[in-house]
Amino acid sequence: MPDRRQPDPSNDDNPFAAPPEGRPDQPWQPRQPQRPQDGGGPAGDGPGRPEGPARWDPMDPVQRRARYALLSGMWGFFFGIFGIPSVGLLLGALALYWGISALRGRPATDADPGGLAALGPAARPQRAAAVSGLVTASLALLLAGSSYALQLAYKDFYICRDDALTRTAELECNTLLPDNMVGQILKVQR
């Protein structure tokens, strides 16, 4: 029985496997992704594009802006709900800017296509993040704007309530509110 090892197909992808017989040892190098040379990937892939959907690339500014739009829009909406309209206004404006710039996605140069359009069908998650960011940014701006409009419309009530030194004086400020649903919501409770 010879002492020669037979090639094992399970070791072909094992970076820690010993080199095959007759091949010298080589220093370790990170693997390079396999790219088809003839462009024969799935339909819609161009020459040199990797097969399957493109992955999240943090170096791509368009993909980064799409994610930023989603996150800042979401947090702007939460700050608007929880009564901090100034932060909600800032985050909503940023999300609106990032969402629009991600959807426009201009290429860096004409020779090198970039942006969401260059990703083709793989841009679906980034486009969804940008659109969701625009929706949440619009809601955050709506909440911040309505909060500021409410404070401006009922300015006398807010000044009276903030200047009141006793609970009785604070309850007297309720006379400055109208007898509608907004007045019932803003009314100082006994």
- Pull the structure tokens for residue 134: 């625009």
Q: Tell whether 35 is covered by a domain.
A: no
Asked whether residue 136 falls in the same domain as residue 159, the answer is no
In a domain, 17, yes or no: no
**Rounded mean pLDDT of 141-152?**
94
Do 168 and 130 fall within a single domain? Answer: no
How many other CB atoms are found less than 10 A from the CB of residue 45? 18
What is the reported pLDDT for 110? 47
Distance, CA of 106 to CA of 62 (rounded, Å): 8
93 lies in the same domain as 122: yes
State whether 98 and 159 are in the same domain. no
Question: Do residues 138 and 116 share a domain?
Answer: yes
Comparing CA positions, the residue from 143, 147, 144, 127 lying closest to residue 69 is 127
Same domain, 187 and 124: no
DSSP string, 41-101: SSTT--TTPPSSPPPP-TT-HHHHHHHHHHHHHHHHHHHHHTT-HHHHHHHHHHHHHHHHH
Residues 172 and 131 in one domain: no
Q: What is the extent of the structural domain holding 172?
A: 154-190
Q: What's the domain count of the chain? A: 2
pTM of the model: 0.62
pLDDT per residue over 27-59, tens digit each? 777 766 655 555 444 444 445 544 455 566 778
Spell out the residues 6+ positions from residue 138 whose beta carbon is closer than 8 angstroms to its own: 92, 96
Average pLDDT over residues 73-87: 94
pLDDT value of position 123? 73
Q: How many residues in total does the chain contain?
A: 190
Last residue of a domain, one of 146, 163, 182: 146
Above 90 in pLDDT, residue 104? no
Whether 116 and 97 share a structural domain? yes
Tokens 């040199």 belong to residue: 48
